[in-house]
Amino acid sequence: MADTGIGAAVRRKEDFRFLTGKGNYVDDINRPNQAYAYILRSPHAHAMVGKIDTSKAKAAPGVIAVFTGEDIKVGGLPCGWVVKFKDGSPQHEPPHPVLAQGKVRHVGDPVAVVIADMKAQAKDAAELIEVDYQPLPAIPTMEAATKSGAPLLFENVPNNICYDWAIGDEAAVDAIIAKAAHVTKIEIVNNRLVANAMEPRAAIAEYDFGTGEHLLYTTSQNPHAIRLLMGAFVLQLPEHKLRVIAPDVGGGFGSKIFLYAEECILTWASAQVKRPIKWTAERGESFASDAQGRDHVTHAELALDKDGKFLALKVSTQANLGAYLSTFAPAVPTYLYATLLAGTYTTPAIYAEVKAIFTNTVPVDAYRGAGRPEACYVVERIVSKAAQELTIDPAELRRRNFIAKDAYPYQTPVALAYDSGDYFATLDMALKAADYAGFGLRREEAAKHGKLRGIGLASYIEACGVAPSAVAGALGARAGLYEMAEVRVHPTGSITMFTGTHSHGQSHETTFAQVISDRLGVPIENIDVVHGDTAKSAFGMGTYGSRSLPVGGSALVKALDKVVDKGKKIAAHLMEASEADIEFKNGAYTVAGTDKNVPFGAVAFAAYVPHNYPLETLEPGLDETAYYDPKNFTFPSGTHIAEVEIDRDTGEVKLVNLVAADDFGTIVNPMVVEGQVHGGLAQGVGQALLENAVYDAESGQLITGSLMDYCMPRADNLPSFTVGTHVTKCTHNPLGVKGCGEAGAIGAPAAVMNAVVDALNAVGVNDLTMPATPEKVWRAIHRRLAA
């Protein structure tokens, strides 16, 4: 079975349908008698909403109904996490209506919904809705939002500050910084990004009057969470009357975790109009309504002794939350950010404070990495800056401060306890793969051609496998974060596995099947993995934070344990042996020390046709469910190295090499892991060189509101990558896995920008904000040369 077990580069089970056009995405689905919804969105960033006249729209051809905030009397969108102010008081949690209630707070804020027989009719009719907007001054930037006397988004949120949170001992850190031999300071802007999964969000809602059941198809990374949040908090629908299906989903990257207004509007409206209703976002709507990512402004100070040992780190961050609290938004710039500021280092004292600010922009929430890329960017940029100031090689400075490989478990000063890792190994691996030693010659060669060449490192860490429920709860989470797995062995020995995680590119249908094939010896073609349907998988918390394998895979191992154990009892009966003497390996139960054996399939058959079966002590059937609550986070780590060449005349940054050496623990499918790393790296490079969500400072309009204006990485922006892995196993989950989905997006931005700054040092430029566009680089070079 090794060829389809753990560690094999099994080709994917899901590919055939995707390659032949048989994928089943939400917009591919049509329901009988289906109507279409179009959402009218605010063209203003900040405005009072007076009378909304829908009469002309209601009379337009094909229109079934028009609803506004006056009509839809349901709960607001809930927030799943509470962060506290420094004084212990809870965050401000202003209402988040599904349709505007008297005010709009960002361009794209939903104002009304038109439902019509045809999509075009709904869109045409929406143009006939007359909304009496009274525009207010827009405050799209954190600077504008926190200025004294700034207009307020919400009356009861003073200064537009959601919370002002801190971790660590400020006085102790200040005292160390005051006495340190060297202090490196840096100003960081972590640019706002748009997730831009290639499949726009979509939904179809349907209500069955016969049974009272609601059905929602939606583009979600976590259908059970959508059912819980929408049912319990918005629409007051019990779970048994609400089925949520997230079929094939075309990428998420975080943006499809959250409960969105459209899902609630459609579910509610389908019962009003007694028709199924379909809505599919246009890409422009995705830009105006999908939660966006990042958007931090940070000042950081790193204190070092004369030998370059880190003594203390002080970080002050402002985080832009946008106009409303999205589902997990408060956790991203706090518990998923500041707790990672120790990085891979022994920095003994850390203080971080985070002010979260409401602005007239699209809400911000988790985007690939969620807080951890922002933390890595702060730490790895300031470490490289310190290396430059102290003229210590950046690899050497990192080595001097790495946590020793025999120091685990390692308690950081910012709450997390790392279980395992070897940062030296991945650093060395990356240095070798990048030919770090030969860089000097390449730089000289580039200089001969008038080019500026730079190299940059980032030795990241991340906390994945979210999350131990009790810890998360103590930190303000309003949910548990365990996972469920059901292994249903069928009478003839084939298997259907049900998971509460969701695959939207991650390849669970293959990798989870490998774990099963490895354990039970069942051919992989006889195993199907089912996800994305609340009526099929009992429960689950979905896929994000690289949790599917560390948490969902652990639940799967527990369920497999139960299957194997029950099978032992059946096998013992069949072979008339003692259960204690039964061993299971290579797909068969054997009596230890004999050649007596019974294959797994025969045990399965006996479980369902129990003619010769211990019915007095054992139930028939072979179908086991397990829930797994993680004992700790997992801590993938590694070093990424970027090499760039800059054209002084055009400012163009060419990424000539990108190396990633990662430690993800046990690897189930190396092909899939490499693919995940590649994708993450591309998003990280995108952040560093290309992508930026820009709002007009006066009007609050999103200037980069389409794929023509927002620069997504194309094939010709990127090189082929060099990736490799070094394994230290996670010590607290049964597979020893750590998670690999976010690493690329975490390490790459810092590595690329360290390389850009390294290159620009030659012309006296020692800082630059992302993205390093040709214009920005050219201006930096020429401003410096002019001076």
Partner 1 sequence: MPSVTLTVNGKQATVEVENRTLLVQLLREHLGLTGTHVGCDTSQCGACVVHVDGASVKSCTLLAVQAAGTNVLTIEGLAKGDELHPMQAAFRENHGLQCGFCTPGMVMSAVDLAHRNAHPTEHEIREWLEGNICRCTGYHNIVKAIKAGAEAMAGSR
Residues near partner 1 (CB under 8 A) are 11-12, 14-23, 25, 27-28, 120, 195-200, 248-251, 253, 280, 282-284, 504-507, 671-672, 674-676, 678-683, 706-708, 712-716, 718, 720-721, 744
Q: Report the nearest approach of partner 1 to the CB of residue 537 (Å).
A: 19
Distance (Å, rounded) from C-alpha 755 to C-alpha 752?
Answer: 5
Sequence-ordered list of residues with C-beta below 8 angstroms from that of 753, at least 6 positions apart, any chain: 377, 381, 456, 688, 768, 770, 772
- For partner 1, which is the closer residue by CB, 109 or 199? 199
Q: In terms of residues, how long is the chain?
A: 787
**Cα dihedral sign, 581-584-586-589:** positive
Q: DSSP letter string over 273-307?
A: HTS-EEEE--HHHHHHHS-BEEEEEEEEEEEE-TT
Angle at which helices 394-401 and 372-389 cross, to 10°:
110
Contact 184, 389 (CB under 8 A): yes
Distance (Å, rounded) from C-alpha 553 to C-alpha 508?
Answer: 10
Q: Report the nearest approach of partner 1 to the CB of residue 2 (Å).
A: 20
Contact 31, 276 (CB under 8 A): yes
Distance (Å, rounded) from C-alpha 393 to C-alpha 390?
Answer: 9
Q: Report the nearest approach of partner 1 to the CB of residue 675 (Å).
A: 5
- For partner 1, which is the closer residue by CB, 189 or 694? 694
* Tokens, residue 169: 């001992």
- For partner 1, which is the closer residue by CB, 714 or 784? 714
- Tell me the CA distances in angstroms from 5 to 10, 518, 522, 564, 633, one per residue in order: 8, 4, 10, 17, 25
* Strands 349-358, 310-322: pairing kind: parallel
- Tell me the CA distances in angstroms from 492 to 157, 314, 366, 574, one per residue in order: 62, 61, 43, 17
- For partner 1, which is the closer residue by CB, 218 or 346? 218
CB under 8 Å, gap of 24 or more: what pairs does 594-602 form?
598/571, 598/574, 600/493, 600/520, 600/521, 600/522, 600/567, 601/492, 601/493, 602/574
- For partner 1, which is the closer residue by CB, 419 or 691? 691
- Alpha helices, DSSP H only, in 78-222? 119-126, 142-146, 170-179
List residues bridging with 700 in a β-sheet.
Answer: none
Contact 381, 754 (CB under 8 A): yes
CB under 8 Å, gap of 24 or more: what pairs does 610-613 form?
612/573, 612/574, 613/570, 613/573
Q: Report the nearest approach of partner 1 to the CB of residue 288 (Å).
A: 12
- For partner 1, which is the closer residue by CB, 321 or 524? 524
- For partner 1, which is the closer residue by CB, 523 or 719? 719
- For partner 1, which is the closer residue by CB, 144 or 688? 688
What single-letter DSSP state applies at residue 493?
S
Q: Report the nearest approach of partner 1 to the CB of residue 508 (Å).
A: 11
- For partner 1, which is the closer residue by CB, 304 or 672? 672
Q: Report the nearest approach of partner 1 to the CB of residue 450 (Å).
A: 22
Q: Report the nearest approach of partner 1 to the CB of residue 126 (Å).
A: 15
Q: Report the nearest approach of partner 1 to the CB of residue 275 (Å).
A: 17
- For partner 1, which is the closer residue by CB, 121 or 517? 121
Q: Report the nearest approach of partner 1 to the CB of residue 744 (Å).
A: 7
* Strands 293-304, 47-53: pairing kind: unpaired
Q: Report the nearest approach of partner 1 to the CB of residue 707 (Å).
A: 4
Q: DSSP letter string over 640-677?
A: EEEEEEEETTT-PEEEEEEEEEEE-BS-S-HHHHHHHH
* Placement of tokens 């780190």 in the chain: 313
- For partner 1, which is the closer residue by CB, 544 or 721? 721
Please report, as a single letter, which amino acid is at residue 742.
Answer: E
Other Cβ atoms within 10 Å of 744 Cβ, number: 30
Q: Report the nearest approach of partner 1 to the CB of residue 14 (Å).
A: 7
Q: Report the nearest approach of partner 1 to the CB of residue 183 (Å).
A: 37
- Tell me the CA distances in angstroms from 146 to 151, 159, 373, one per residue in order: 9, 6, 25
Other Cβ atoms within 10 Å of 535 Cβ, number: 14
Q: Report the nearest approach of partner 1 to the CB of residue 40 (Å).
A: 17
- For partner 1, which is the closer residue by CB, 715 or 786? 715
- For partner 1, which is the closer residue by CB, 632 or 657? 657
Distance (Å, rounded) from C-alpha 49 to C-alpha 89?
Answer: 32
- For partner 1, which is the closer residue by CB, 344 or 543? 543
Q: Report the nearest approach of partner 1 to the CB of residue 575 (Å).
A: 41
Contact 464, 550 (CB under 8 A): yes
Q: Report the nearest approach of partner 1 to the CB of residue 645 (Å).
A: 16
Q: Report the nearest approach of partner 1 to the CB of residue 507 (Å).
A: 7
- For partner 1, which is the closer residue by CB, 171 or 708? 708
- For partner 1, which is the closer residue by CB, 249 or 522? 249
| Local structure of 101: helix, strand or coil | coil
Distance (Å, rounded) from C-alpha 630 to C-alpha 477?
Answer: 15
Q: Report the nearest approach of partner 1 to the CB of residue 254 (Å).
A: 12
Looking from the CA of 577 toward its CB, the CA atoms found within 13 Å total 20
Contact 337, 298 (CB under 8 A): no
Please report, as a single letter, which amino acid is at residue 36.
Answer: Y
- For partner 1, which is the closer residue by CB, 43 or 621? 43
* Placement of tokens 């202003």 in the chain: 94
Q: Report the nearest approach of partner 1 to the CB of residue 708 (Å).
A: 5
- For partner 1, which is the closer residue by CB, 653 or 780? 653
Between the two ends of the chain, the Cα-to-Cα distance in Å is 67
Angle at which helices 743-760 and 774-786 cross, to 10°:
30
